Structure formats: structure tokens, C-alpha cells
């Protein structure tokens, strides 16, 4: 009898386990259906079959992905446009206002519309298809080319050129500004070079006028540009050399001043102005070469003008320039006295 009872107990236990297993399977199936139902609700489709729902969800996802890709493509295109016609128009308006505050009038130029800048047709001479001059920035030769987008294969991509050469009066310094990009960063280069150079290059440096630099940077970044309204003082170097003759005259006045010890170091009988020639000129610096009257040998003299004095650096011998100066001294601009 005990065996029968035990046997029945085992059967009941087996049936119970089978029932638990069936319930767990049913619960799992319900969870699976619930998951599909949530997906269907998100895609706003009616359930016809699991396969159809999956296909519609895939189509919706594909449409969304395509839309996102298109949006990203448009955003990438916008970001890569360093320079546009809209930005060019904004720069034109800014230069008009900025020039007024500087008491200067600037005009825009391109390789097909040049300005006569001390005899050079610019920017064609340095940026045109048949350019004949190079470009130096901080006395280092660089590659540059004209660009309408701000991008090029050169070190500098120039997008705009402005000058007051055709509107300035008198013997005042004329300015030439190149707006462009170097390593995709906006830069404003300025040149006031008024003489030809032995290296056959137009020499630039980055402008020191912060208002001009900030204005261009804001235009490039698509930020609001505050138009200058109050007159501000130009901080471009004003201590420039008007010509080679000015530097020669300064040299002669210094060496003729008997209060200076250097006045005893020159034999005027062997001096001739025609022996001077221009080596380089940029900003407040000019370098002249002296060719001995005999034709053998020579030397170099560099002049760096400040507000109240000029530093004269001499290089004795043709091979000494620019790395081996012989001596240097300061001269007061007011009376040509060495101190």
C-alpha cells in the first residue's frame, strides 16, 4: 500500500513540475509579445505579423538614418565653408566703417582688379596666374594664392585685399591688407613696403590693429560684428622709412655729427651715394648695401627706426650679413647723436 501511495506522489510531483515549466514558457512568450508590441507602438504600425512589423520598423529606421546623414552632410558643408559671398559683403561694410575711424578710405581689389601699390600691380603680381613676385611673412618666404572659399594648397589662402593707396594724399604711408587663412585660422597681413627688394618679394607681417583683427575673426565665425564708431589711433608702425634716400640721409647726418665718435671712422673723399643699394625694407626696418668704389668688397648697414631713436647695425664684409654684425649703436632721431 505504501508503494502505491509513494508512486502516486511521484506522479503528482512530475505533473506539478510540468505545469511550472509550461507556465514559465507561457510567461516567456508573453514577454516576447510584449516587446514586439512596444516596438510596434513606437513605429505607429498595426500588428499584422511579426515579420511585417520588423520590416516596417526597418524601413522607418532607414528613413531616420538617411535624414540624419543628410543633416550631418549639410552641417559639414557649412562648417567647411571658411569664406562666402555673404562674409565678403560683411567685410566690405566693416572696412568702410573701420577706414572712416582711421581717417582713411579703403577700396577692395582682386587679381582682376588691381591697385598700383608703389609701382606694383597688386594683388596680381603676387597672387595672379602669372605672378612675378613672392610673398614673405615676418621675413620668411611663404606660399600664397587667391581663394574664394578660404581653402587652397598653399600656406596662405587670401580671400580679400584692401588698400588706401589710391585714396591717400600727400607723402603719408600707404597700407595694403591681405585677409586670409593660415592653417584654417583667419589672419590679417599688412604691408607698407614702398621699394623693390633684392629677394623680389612683397614683405608682410600680421597687423597689430586689434580692432581690425577682431572684426575679421568675428566675420569668419559668423558672429555679430560691432562696426567702429569712434575714431581710434592706428597702431600700425608709423616709424617707417619713406625711401632709401631717407635712410642714406640719416646715415650721413649721423656720421657728419662731430659729437659722435663714429664721425672719425669715415673718409668722405671716398664716399659716393651711388654706392648704396637697397637690400630689404619692411615696416620700421631697412637694410642697405654699400659697394666699395673700387668694386671689391662691401658692407651692409641696417636701420631700425623707433619713435625717438634709430638703431644702426653694421656688417663689415659681404659675407657677414645677416648673421655676423660688427657693431650696433643707437642714434637720437632729433639731433643724430649717438648715445
Q: What is the pLDDT along the chain (339 residues), one digit of tens a residue?
A: 444 444 444 444 443 444 444 444 343 444 443 333 333 333 333 444 444 444 545 555 555 555 555 455 444 434 458 999 999 999 999 999 999 988 899 999 999 999 999 889 999 999 998 899 999 998 899 999 999 999 999 999 999 999 999 998 755 678 999 999 999 999 999 998 876 777 889 999 999 898 999 999 999 999 998 877 655 544 455 678 888 999 999 999 999 999 999 999 998 988 999 899 998 888 788 999 998 877 677 899 999 998 888 999 999 988 898 888 999 999 999 999 999
SS3 for 176-219 is: EEEEEEECCEEEEEEECCCCCCCCCEEEEEECCCHHHHHHHHHH
Distance CA 303, CA 251 (A): 9
According to the model, what pLDDT value does residue 300 have? 95
Q: What are phi and psi of 235, to 5 degrees?
A: -110, 15
Closest by CA to 184, choosing from 78, 76, 74, 83, is 83
CA atoms of 221 and 276, how far apart (whole Å)? 48
Q: Extract the runs of DSSP E, i.e. beta strands, from 268-326.
A: 276-282, 285-291, 298-305, 309-316
pLDDT at 295: 66
| pTM (global) more than 0.85 | no
Q: Say how far apart CA 214 and CA 226 lie, in whole Å.
A: 10
Amino acid at each position: 500500500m505504501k508503494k502505491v501511495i509513494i508512486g502516486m506522489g511521484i506522479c503528482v510531483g512530475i505533473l506539478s513540475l510540468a505545469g511550472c515549466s509550461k507556465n514559465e514558457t507561457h510567461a516567456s512568450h508573453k514577454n516576447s509579445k510584449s516587446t514586439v508590441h512596444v516596438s510596434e507602438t513606437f513605429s505607429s504600425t498595426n500588428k499584422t505579423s511579426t515579420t511585417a512589423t520588423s520590416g516596417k520598423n526597418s524601413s522607418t529606421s532607414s528613413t531616420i538614418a538617411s535624414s540624419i546623414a543628410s543633416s550631418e552632410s549639410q552641417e559639414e558643408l557649412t562648417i567647411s565653408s571658411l569664406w562666402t559671398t555673404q562674409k565678403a559683403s560683411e567685410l566690405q561694410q566693416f572696412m568702410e566703417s573701420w577706414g572712416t575711424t582711421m581717417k582713411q578710405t579703403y577700396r577692395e581689389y582682386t587679381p582682376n582688379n588691381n591697385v598700383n601699390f608703389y609701382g606694383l600691380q597688386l594683388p596680381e603680381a603676387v597672387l595672379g596666374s602669372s605672378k612675378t613676385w613672392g610673398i614673405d611673412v615676418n621675413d620668411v618666404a611663404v606660399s600664397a594664392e587667391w581663394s574664394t572659399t578660404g581653402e587652397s594648397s598653399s600656406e596662405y589662402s587670401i580671400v580679400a585685399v584692401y588698400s588706401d593707396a589710391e585714396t591717400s594724399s600727400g607723402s603719408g604711408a600707404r597700407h595694403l591688407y591681405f585677409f586670409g587663412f593660415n592653417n584654417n585660422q583667419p589672419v590679417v597681413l599688412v604691408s607698407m613696403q614702398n621699394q623693390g627688394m633684392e629677394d623680389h618679394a612683397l614683405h608682410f607681417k600680421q597687423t597689430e590693429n586689434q580692432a581690425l583683427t577682431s572684426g575679421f575673426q568675428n566675420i569668419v565665425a559668423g558672429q555679430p560684428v560691432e562696426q567702429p564708431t569712434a575714431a581710434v589711433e592706428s597702431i600700425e608702425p608709423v616709424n617707417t622709412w619713406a625711401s632709401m634716400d631717407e635712410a642714406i640721409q640719416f646715415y650721413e647726418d649721423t656720421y657728419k655729427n662731430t659729437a659722435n665718435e663714429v664721425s672719425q671712422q669715415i673718409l668722405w673723399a671716398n664716399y659716393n651715394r651711388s654706392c648704396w643699394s637697397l637690400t630689404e625694407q619692411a615696416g620700421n626696418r631697412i637694410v642697405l648695401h654699400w659697394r666699395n668704389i673700387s668694386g671689391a668688397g662691401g658692407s651692409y648697414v641696417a636701420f631700425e627706426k623707433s619713435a625717438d631713436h634709430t638703431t644702426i647695425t653694421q656688417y663689415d664684409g659681404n659675407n657677414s650679413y645677416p648673421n655676423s654684425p660688427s657693431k650696433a649703436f643707437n642714434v637720437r632721431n632729433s639731433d643724430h647723436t649717438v648715445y
